[in-house]
Structure 1
Amino acid sequence: MSTTVLVSTFPPFPTVSLSVPFDTPFQSLYELLHARYPSLPLSDDLLLSPQHGSVPLPSTPVSELGRNEDVQSEHGLISLRLSPRLRGGKGGFGSQLRAAGGRMSSQKTSNNDSCRDLSGRRLNTIKEAQKLAAYLESEPERKKAQKEAEKEKLKALERKIEQADPAVGSKRALVDSEYLEQRREIVDNVKSAVSAGM
């Protein structure tokens, strides 16, 4: 009994179809490929694996691969992939990922203003309303402070005027003899009119 193994390769090699006995071990498939294409690189530089899933053990017979759904195609063929191995670098990639993750987590925003509360209002609207309420609540204190500041400014201005010209700054009594005489006459006339009327 034999089965068909379909091996997809990489350029310049085409996809290869092999007919092998059921008891053929997985590790000998590469030897059959190399016999068909002698220009293939060494087996250490290539990796033969299923299209999906994990690589089977080297001693696993091909018949076992046929029972695996990851390897068996819908036509009953065993589908494998031959790919070149990628040699590792010097390492340090994990630390680069951790550093990048740290940078990304530090840029996370805590701005939830566009979210809504349970009643459907946006959090930004609620915050603005709270700010406005606090502003209106503190308005009398602000007006009082503003009036005090104006009084202090006026007092400071008066002090400056007194220092510049003491005669201007001092309060002078109004002395107008004609006015005082007229005032006295009016008061006397009113008194005499009232007494005459009585």
Structure 2
Amino acid sequence: MDHVNSTSILIQAFSPFPSLTLTVPSTTTISDVPSLLQDRYLDLPFGDSSCYVLSTHRGHTIPPAATISSLHSDPEADLTSTPNFVTLRLTPRLFGGKGGFGSQLRAAGGRMSSQKTSNNDSCRDLTGRRLSTIKEAKKLAEYLESEPERLAAKAAAQKAKLDALERKLGIEPTANAGPSGKNAAVGSGEPPRSAPGAVDVPQVLAGKKHRFDDTEYLEQSRELTENVKSAVSAALLKKRKKAKVTHPTATTAAPSSAATREKPSTKEKVAEQPMEKALDAALADAVGA
């Protein structure tokens, strides 16, 4: 082949293939180069040449009808390039999708940024206090400010509950009571009089509690109970001392004397039972009084 009419091509292939070299006539078109490469390099997957594209070293696509000689005077070629020598790049075509991937990616990024939580509680302000501490202080201040309202609501709920319970028991609500805070009919012991023509409702007294405030009576009852207990205890103690004095002290007595000594203890038990019953009766009388 004539050196003037031939051109050496250096083709930079994609991984995993190395760089390829090929010498072709200068009148060869770009569309014929893939078939020539396939004849020389059998490992190249050139089953469909439309899946690959030949471009210049700078990445510009070459028209399929262009000849190799037209690339000798390529203004994009390097100034140091030698004549009859061309450098090309072989790259596979990428199959495109339906498009719009950029908009989908931006939309997904917007959703991700909107879901991102901005928790700055661990940060500090200019005074050195943490933001979480400031938030807790604000919540506590708001809670203390709303304390009277919550207490008033709680009192209103308790009053409504009490009124409902009084209506259920048939007791006149406390709001209709006199200045003394008690119903006149209840204080006098007489049943409340119904208005003429009204239906008589039986008076319900079950479930009503009364507070006993007579402290003097309670103190007297307590003192009486303590006096009775002390008197009964003293009497029992004297009886036991008397029984110990009259009890025989001989330790070398016969077995019959041992049986004799057991009898007084049995009598003591029998004698103590009436005293205990008397103590219980006295306590019952004191409490009942």
TM-score calculated relative to the size of structure 1? 0.52
1:67 is paired with a residue whose SS is coil
**Distance between the aligned counterparts of 2:105 and 2:138, measured in 1?**
38
Name the aligned partner's letter for residue 152 of structure 1: A
Q: Relative contact order (alpha carbons < 8 A, sep ≥ 6): 1 or 2 greater?
A: 1
Match of 1:5 in 2: 10
What does residue range 103-182 of structure 1 map to in structure 2 within 5 Å?
A: 105-106=110-111, 108-109=114-115, 111-114=117-120, 116=123, 119=126, 123=131, 125-162=133-170, 165-167=203-205
What does residue range 1-198 of structure 1 map to in structure 2 within 5 Å?
A: 5-9=10-14, 15-18=19-22, 28=29, 31-32=32-33, 34-38=35-39, 40-41=46-47, 43-50=49-56, 54-58=59-63, 61-62=71-72, 64-67=75-78, 80-88=88-96, 91=98, 93-94=99-100, 98=103, 101-102=106-107, 105-106=110-111, 108-109=114-115, 111-114=117-120, 116=123, 119=126, 123=131, 125-162=133-170, 165-167=203-205
The runs of 5 or more residues in structure 1 that have no matched partner are: 171-198
Name the aligned partner's letter for residue 113 of structure 1: N
Name the aligned partner's letter for residue 144 of structure 2: L
Aligned residues: 158
Q: Tell me the CA shift for residue 144 of structure 1.
A: 1.6
Q: Tell me the CA shift for residue 136 of structure 1.
A: 2.0
Contact 1:113 1:124 in 2 (8 A): no
**Distance between the aligned counterparts of 2:107 and 2:49, measured in 1?**
41
C-alpha RMSD over aligned residues: 4.7
Name the aligned partner's letter for residue 5 of structure 1: L
1:37 is paired with a residue whose SS is helix
Contact 2:51 2:93 in 1 (8 A): yes
Change beyond 3 A, Cα 1:99–1:43: closer
Change beyond 3 A, Cα 1:122–1:98: farther
Q: % of aligned pairs identical?
A: 32
Contact 1:8 1:81 in 2 (8 A): yes
Higher Rg: 2
Change beyond 3 A, Cα 1:162–1:137: same
